Structure 1
Amino acid sequence: MTADLPRLRGVLQRELDAGAYDFTVPGGLDTVLREQARGEPPGSAVLRMIGALPSSGFGSLTVEERAAWLRRALATVKRELTLEDALTPVTRGTTRMSAAPRTATKKPARAKAPLPDGEAPTTRPRAAAKEKIAPGAAGLDLPIEQAGTGLGPAHLGRLKRMGIHVVRDALQHYPSRHTDFSQTVAIAALRVDQEQTVRGRVVSSREVRMGRGGKMRSTEVVVQDEGGSRITATFFNQPFMARALPEGAEIALAGKVARFRNRPQYSNPEWERLEVDGEGKHTGRLVPVYPLTEGLPQRTMRTAIAKLLERYGDRIEDPLPAEIRKRLGLLGLMEATRQCHYPDSHEALREARRRLAFDELLAIQVGVQTRRREWRSGDAPAIEVHSVADDFLRTLPWALTKAQARVLNDVREDIAQPHAMSRLLEGDVGSGKTVVALAAMLSMVQAGYQSVLMAPTEVLAEQHYRTLCRLLSGEPEPPLHGLVTVAGLPLQVRVVLLTGSTRAAERKDALNAIRFGGAQIVVGTHALIQEGVTYHRLGLAVVDEQHRFGVMQRGELRRKGIEASGAEGRPLTPHLLVMSATPIPRTLALTAYGDLDLSIIDEMPAGRVPIETRFLPPIQRVEAFQHIRKEVAAGRQAFVICPLVEGSEVIESRAATEEYERLRTEQFPELAERILLLHGRMPAREKDRVMRAFAAHEADILVSTAVVEVGIDVPNATVMVIEGADRFGLAQLHQFRGRVGRGEYPSHCFLLADDPSAEAEDRLSVMERTSDGFALAEADLQLRGPGDLFGTAQSGVAGLRVASLLDAPLIDAARKEASALLEADPELALPEHRALRYAIASRTGEVVVETH
């Protein structure tokens, strides 16, 4: 076998991570496959993989087909490598990398005191085999263990756990912040509690024993500067520092100055040997502070990255066209990388981060705008007649708000075009998004097309089914077989529900109705995009709570729509309307959801009952449970949300179970049989059963973790109690609050926190003052960042390393430049854009655009 399977595996995995757009390799993946196939024997793994492709190659497949082929190919490569590994002999004294026997026996070395972590030994290092380094930027793909960092196997393993496998990864491991040690001052002028740098000569360096019984071996170093003043630096639990900083050494110390026995002192400061280290990397400048993993010291990381910058920094090529850099006043990539790690000044650091942030934002914008172009490519049903929808709206017992009317007009303008709509509709719970979506569906029905509404849970899908039937029929319960009469249409409209729990006979009937056009409106869960579901003429896809779905699910709906219409000889792309009750700040919407046009319903219907929100300190928490008792006695219901436990669904579920038992045995023993429990570790069917039972008023109190955030509609619920409210973001608290106040009764939300910080109290007071979800989302973005907008499970664009979603001007600039690039060169195939195409494709696997 001549193919380099480990390299091929890396290429295939990067392509899959990047979304299977065939951007990751210059010339496309077919180029690599041709190269790997040369000299391969018949029946080899590589030839079998290529044989599974059409004669036109990988590039001719759709995105979904490419992803499926990549997953199968990766499984094949994994099997081949496992087999190869198993068949490679291993004998005593040899490794699979080299079978050469040892020719000499090493004498035991005399034990030496260990050196500080990350420092190179003074003895001559063992000669290593010279590795051939590829020329230019290709050398940045050199494995990190061959790059001359001076690190041992343990630290190299820690780097790899952090995702640093090659030199390029290390140079793109940017500091999270910098400490300002640039001010070098005389020892006599030091100020206590400030971070400062001093330089001088070591006049005393000795190991000392400290702590009870003298068990802590530490080092005490005395440094004297040119003015004759002295300062003591103590390195706790680091006896090796006495050898690292011997008497007579010229050194620099940096850190926060303390006062001990009325004299200035450093404790575990940063340090540098001036005669050895030359230009400072740890003192006397803006010093980088890197994200780390356990067991990897900051000093070690700084030393390694400084070496790599010096050795490989001039290999960095700039893929961004010169005219864009000039137009926006951006640094070159090589200079920006150097200045981001070791800036000459605060201004240089700002400019470096601005350049690197732009690259991240441009990659996202090219990705989302490419998706937008792909969705809008091809023909779509052009709908201009809306008389049936207008007649339906006039029958409603209320008039649309101005915001609803404005958004419906946006949708109608989109679906009148011959290319597919792709629009995001935002609005708080109860703002009337469903009515707008239904009006669009009726226009599709009038024109002879189907519509689907996909929801993330069975409970939410069932609620949508009941809501659509109620709005269309005017009856509280769905009609038989979902058949409703709609004014202006010659035949009845059939609404069908399809979920994973749909019974076999009902499922068969629903599938036939969908396939042959008997169902005009289809409501369901992921079941709508599974194998076996075939549409008749799909004109509109509505996706609710869209942040719970990924790009691939939306793409699957698109594919099914095109297939259905293609059977009639004219493939049509369905229009797309995605809805979210989670307010999304504008900058996040432009970034994470930039493939969608944005419409906002920022007005609530008249008569909506306001929700009174109160933050209760521990001493007043009893008031919340007294209010629950009063409301339950009046026939109402209540939610109790348990604290968020970062990173542990197990602990969260246990806490919810304990709270459930406490309420049943201590707080409300008389209601013990009327209290239900809901948490994330329950099977999906059990969760649905609990939510249905609560919605049907088979219980009075629901104890839940954050899984109740989306989807349950209980108009009879009037009390929301949130334990550990200080652990949630404002946007998520607002979602919880939206579970009550859906009926005609006054509702209350109580925020409880046992020991909130002053900052947490300020945040919770914002909840008391405002019910504007968009204002809360903006505040949340500033206070907590994008990673918490949807709770811990939804990371949004948390993968951004440098860019800030608060930088609206830079986001707008990246959006405009991406649009101009794609307008001029949709595939980024021109010679001047190929490097940019490759750089963007490599980033798309790193930057999280949307949680799937």
Structure 2
Amino acid sequence: MTSSEAGHHPITFLRRVFDLERRKGYQDTAAVGGIERLFERNLGVWLTQHPELRSRLQQLAGLVRGYSTKSPMERAELLARIMPLLDGTERISERPRSVRASKAAEERTSSAKTQLVKSVDPDEPVTALPGVGAQRARQLETLGISTVRDLLYLVPRRYADYTQVVPIGRLGRLVRVGEEVTCTVIGEVAQVEVRETTNGRRYVAVELRDDTGKIPVIWFNPFVAKQLAVGQRIAVSGKLEGSGPYVRFRNPEWEPAEADLLNTGRIVPIYPLTHGLYQRQLRQLTRTALELALPRLNDPLPTALRQRYELPSLTWALAQLHYPESLAAAERARRRLAFDEFLVLQLGLVQRRLSWHAQPGTPIPIDRELLERFLASLPFQLTSAQRRALEEILADLAQPHPMSRLLQGDVGSGKTVVAAAAALLVHRAGFQSAILAPTEILAEQHFRTLTRLYSGLSGADRPLVALLTGSTPERDRGPILAGLASGAIGIVVGTHALLEERVQFRHLTLAVIDEQHRFGVLQRHTLRSKGENPHVLVMTATPIPRSLALVLHGDLDLSIIDELPPGRQPVKTYVVPGRKRAEAYKFVRREIEKGHQAFVICPLVEESETIEARAATAEYERLQRDVFPDLRLGLLHGRMSSREKDEVMTRFRDGELDILVSTAVVEVGIDVPNATVILIEGAERFGLAQLHQFRGRVGRGTAPSYCLLVSDADTEAARQRLEAVATTTDGFRLAEIDLQLRGPGEFLGTRQSGLPNLRFATLADMPTLQAARRAAEELLQDDPTLAAPEHAALAELVRALWTRSVADVS
């Protein structure tokens, strides 16, 4: 028998144990070794010390036999039968309590009995819970809570640790000047008064005593006075004010000491709130939801999977999420719930990948001799990373099912030549390829690049490449459409114009989508539908951390080009404080005097009083008027039409402009080899990955290139972030840092990506994400459609997520 077991009357002790078991979700963890073992240890001693309870204790021992083998639902039903037996006719001697406290305890016991024999379906409206009427339901709805399940999954913003229970006499020694102490005291109310401050504000002043001393407690809520009575024992938790003998509590949490402590003396959840809803009320609601709904909550994870990945049960996790035994338990609970989120997401992604691969595709015979002739004709050699990515793509193309692959490479890593090699081999096999770019200038750039890459091939080997955009003249459009329909054109590069209904292919077999996040679900589907299950290659220059790629592109196989071609000069990057802006301008002028061009990037389009970044429009006018009056400046911003943006970029590319002043809309992948310097204003306001993307606009020629990060921010954090960019040229490393610093929402800058709303999971938690990915692949290997009865709950969660919120990223 443990000391804690020995120190209580058996009925009082068992009532507390069973109540704890209920709060912990009927997991048989309320007592060391389990409840059945508890009786084995203590029954003999209890019968010796309390012979008058022999019949009741023996009956209880019989009821809990086999408790460890029962399900949580069966345990809940068993405890519902046991509690009336515990509250039998024998009176148990306990410390006298105040009349008010005794009455409150009786009401709680009565309420507890009622709740023990009642349960609520988790998917019922929140109004199914006692005390939730229409007004409370409206308040909860503003927090996104409509059902009892929503309440169970409400994530605390943080926790307050009130587990340190301190005698009042020791409080003065706890507090040191400048330190913050949070603790709990339990004492008797010695005095209750309603007083007023000098400015007439009413407050409740209470003196709380225990055997070691007394302490003042004040609440600026007169209603508290109606709830407290002299002689009542209460628990108080909060931050101590003052020091030495002059400590006190101001507006602490409190509740009767005999209560099942919810707001004091434990780790307490701090929830998001809305107008008219308070922490105490929300805690009572989550406690009630746990008591009534957990017994009817099905765990979607099969037992074998939970054991393999060492995961706790769902009922334990939800109970510990709200009212954890320790902060470590809260974190373990969060990890289990994060695993669930990742697993449902990965199941959908892996299912989509398997479904795509299960469709019949067109296998492409790989002409190795042609490939070698093409590579030998190039004025450069592929890097080992390019060769590796190309071989992965060719292996996919040779399969009788369609490829679904993401080709990810940093700015300037040479993705286009890899796609060109794949398209060439598809053409040799007698089929067609389409390359879809988000803007006309990028499409035109791809067209010129492909034409240049194929120029070293003989006429027999060289494919016919066409360009189709919104600007293609109608007189040229007809022959292009005819060539695509007949198969004479082997490769077409284009924009959204490729998606028009009148664009038909003879045999589209390879679809390459550049920067696919720029295209909607319907647009990507339209391109695929122009062929019979074509191979799909998605290209992106955006460095996406592995964790984010698993979430966003988990249905795609991943190829990464992680080295730059030899001879490409790294861009020298400098952090320039705002006071040295004039020197930065002189540097830009010197580069232009050498015959080069420059970018100036500004965060905003128009002046804003709240953000101190120079707006592009005003900055363009100021630079043209005051700084570079003799140079040719152009302006690019998000409010311009696509045609206007393309015209400006074309003039810049063709050397008609010396400086391009732009917001963040300056396109990824724009190739202006003569641009050698990019000056980024308000650099601290951009993400690290975005700064790296901007930096990639220069350094595309043979001349040394520079990136100037101009910032007026004087915080150490901002300086460290910018120094990370200045000292790191690895885009993937910067993306990982950026993801950790800013989170996925800000990292992506848009919700269009299809990233689901993750409540418990964080993309920094790679071990959990990778475990969920493995689990998804294992489950679907044995049960591809999740049709087995033990997978029914998981299958429903996958359907719900994928029909509700996640975009088609394939």
Write the deviation string for residues 35-89 of structure 1: whole angstroms up to 9, x where unpaired: xxxxxxxxxxxxxxxxxxxxxxxxxxxxxxxxxxxxxxxxxxxxxxxxxxxxxxx
**Alignment partners' CA distance in 1, 2:530 and 2:741:** 41
User: Which of 488, 491, 499 does residue 529 from structure 1 map onto?
Assistant: 499
* Residues 412 and 303 (structure 1), Cα distance of their counterparts in 2 relative to 1, 3 Å cut: same
Q: Shift of the alpha carbon at 1:340? A: 1.2
Question: Aligned letter for 1:496?
Answer: A
Q: Assess if the C-alpha contact under 8 Å between 1:220 and 1:232 holds in 2.
A: no
Q: Assess if the C-alpha contact under 8 Å between 1:255 and 1:266 holds in 2.
A: yes
Q: Shift of the alpha carbon at 1:283? A: 2.5
Matches within 5 A, 1:304-703: 304-383=285-364, 384-473=366-455, 486-487=457-458, 489=460, 493-549=463-519, 552-562=522-532, 573-643=533-603, 655-671=615-631, 674-703=632-661
* Residues 817 and 302 (structure 1), Cα distance of their counterparts in 2 relative to 1, 3 Å cut: same
2:684 is aligned to: 726
**Alignment partners' CA distance in 1, 2:202 and 2:472:** 70
**Alignment partners' CA distance in 2, 1:386 and 1:807:** 42
**Alignment partners' CA distance in 2, 1:721 and 1:296:** 49
* Residues 406 and 198 (structure 1), Cα distance of their counterparts in 2 relative to 1, 3 Å cut: same
**Alignment partners' CA distance in 2, 1:803 and 1:471:** 45
Q: Shift of the alpha carbon at 1:292? A: 4.5
Name structure 2 gaps, 5 residues minimum. Answer: 1-103, 108-117
**Alignment partners' CA distance in 1, 2:805 and 2:267:** 27
User: Which of 708, 728, 733 does residue 750 from structure 1 map onto?
Assistant: 708
Q: Shift of the alpha carbon at 1:643? A: 3.2
Secondary structure of 1:141's match? coil
Q: Assess if the C-alpha contact under 8 Å between 2:162 and 2:265 holds in 1.
A: yes
Matches within 5 A, 1:55-66: none
Q: Assess if the C-alpha contact under 8 Å between 1:515 and 1:536 holds in 2.
A: yes
Write the deviation string for residues 696-724 of structure 1: whole angstroms up to 9, x where unpaired: 33322222222225243222222222222
**Alignment partners' CA distance in 2, 1:524 and 1:650:** 40
Q: Is 1:714 the equivalent of 2:698?
A: no
Q: Is 1:185 the equivalent of 2:169?
A: no
Q: Shift of the alpha carbon at 1:845? A: 5.3
Q: Shift of the alpha carbon at 1:398? A: 0.9
**Alignment partners' CA distance in 2, 1:629 and 1:601:** 35
Q: Shift of the alpha carbon at 1:202? A: 4.1
Q: Shift of the alpha carbon at 1:548? A: 2.9
* Residues 706 and 251 (structure 1), Cα distance of their counterparts in 2 relative to 1, 3 Å cut: farther
Q: Assess if the C-alpha contact under 8 Å between 1:787 and 1:796 holds in 2.
A: no
Q: Assess if the C-alpha contact under 8 Å between 1:180 and 1:195 holds in 2.
A: yes
User: Which of 246, 252, 263 does residue 246 from structure 2 map onto?
Assistant: 263
* Residues 390 and 234 (structure 1), Cα distance of their counterparts in 2 relative to 1, 3 Å cut: farther
Question: Aligned letter for 2:684?
Answer: D
Q: Shift of the alpha carbon at 1:218? A: 5.1
Q: Assess if the C-alpha contact under 8 Å between 1:642 and 1:656 holds in 2.
A: yes
Secondary structure of 2:665's match? helix
Q: Assess if the C-alpha contact under 8 Å between 1:219 and 1:239 holds in 2.
A: yes
Q: Shift of the alpha carbon at 1:157? A: 3.3
| Stretch of structure 1 that moved more, 191-200 or 499-508 | 499-508
* Residues 230 and 697 (structure 1), Cα distance of their counterparts in 2 relative to 1, 3 Å cut: farther
Q: Shift of the alpha carbon at 1:795? A: 6.0
Q: Is 1:214 the equivalent of 2:199?
A: yes
Secondary structure of 2:406's match? strand
Q: Shift of the alpha carbon at 1:514? A: 2.0
1:773 is aligned to: 731
* Residues 829 and 768 (structure 1), Cα distance of their counterparts in 2 relative to 1, 3 Å cut: same
* Residues 198 and 711 (structure 1), Cα distance of their counterparts in 2 relative to 1, 3 Å cut: farther
* Residues 651 and 677 (structure 1), Cα distance of their counterparts in 2 relative to 1, 3 Å cut: farther
Q: Assess if the C-alpha contact under 8 Å between 1:645 and 1:652 holds in 2.
A: no
1:302 is aligned to: 283
**Alignment partners' CA distance in 1, 2:284 and 2:627:** 58
**Alignment partners' CA distance in 2, 1:272 and 1:290:** 17
Write the deviation string for residues 79-132 of structure 1: whole angstroms up to 9, x where unpaired: xxxxxxxxxxxxxxxxxxxxxxxxxxxxxxxxxxxxxxxxxx9xx9xxxxxxxx
Secondary structure of 2:530's match? helix
Matches within 5 A, 1:98-113: none
Secondary structure of 1:707's match? coil
Question: Aligned letter for 2:624?
Answer: R
* Residues 313 and 523 (structure 1), Cα distance of their counterparts in 2 relative to 1, 3 Å cut: same
**Alignment partners' CA distance in 2, 1:313 and 1:616:** 57
Write the deviation string for residues 2-35 of structure 1: whole angstroms up to 9, x where unpaired: xxxxxxxxxxxxxxxxxxxxxxxxxxxxxxxxxx
Secondary structure of 2:210's match? coil
| Stretch of structure 1 that moved more, 260-269 or 501-510 | 260-269
Secondary structure of 2:575's match? strand
| Stretch of structure 1 that moved more, 820-829 or 259-268 | 259-268
Q: Assess if the C-alpha contact under 8 Å between 2:521 and 2:807 holds in 1.
A: no
Secondary structure of 1:697's match? coil
**Alignment partners' CA distance in 2, 1:200 and 1:837:** 52
**Alignment partners' CA distance in 2, 1:231 and 1:249:** 15
Q: Shift of the alpha carbon at 1:353? A: 1.5
**Alignment partners' CA distance in 2, 1:409 and 1:350:** 43
User: Which of 761, 766, 769 does residue 808 from structure 1 map onto?
Assistant: 766
Aligned-pair Cα RMSD in Å: 3.2
**Alignment partners' CA distance in 2, 1:243 and 1:636:** 79
Q: Assess if the C-alpha contact under 8 Å between 1:339 and 1:352 holds in 2.
A: yes
* Residues 159 and 682 (structure 1), Cα distance of their counterparts in 2 relative to 1, 3 Å cut: farther
Secondary structure of 1:574's match? strand
* Residues 321 and 233 (structure 1), Cα distance of their counterparts in 2 relative to 1, 3 Å cut: same
* Residues 406 and 239 (structure 1), Cα distance of their counterparts in 2 relative to 1, 3 Å cut: same
Question: Aligned letter for 1:558?
Answer: R
Name structure 1 gaps, 5 residues minimum. Answer: 1-120, 125-134, 475-485, 563-572
Question: Aligned letter for 2:708?
Answer: F
| Stretch of structure 1 that moved more, 375-384 or 285-294 | 285-294
Question: Aligned letter for 1:311?
Answer: L
Percent identity of equivalent pairs = 50
Question: Aligned letter for 1:599?
Answer: S
Q: Shift of the alpha carbon at 1:602? A: 1.3
**Alignment partners' CA distance in 2, 1:547 and 1:381:** 26
* Residues 245 and 515 (structure 1), Cα distance of their counterparts in 2 relative to 1, 3 Å cut: farther
* Residues 162 and 630 (structure 1), Cα distance of their counterparts in 2 relative to 1, 3 Å cut: farther
Structure 1 length-normalised TM = 0.74
Q: Shift of the alpha carbon at 1:531? A: 3.0
Q: Assess if the C-alpha contact under 8 Å between 2:613 and 2:682 holds in 1.
A: no
* Residues 605 and 284 (structure 1), Cα distance of their counterparts in 2 relative to 1, 3 Å cut: same
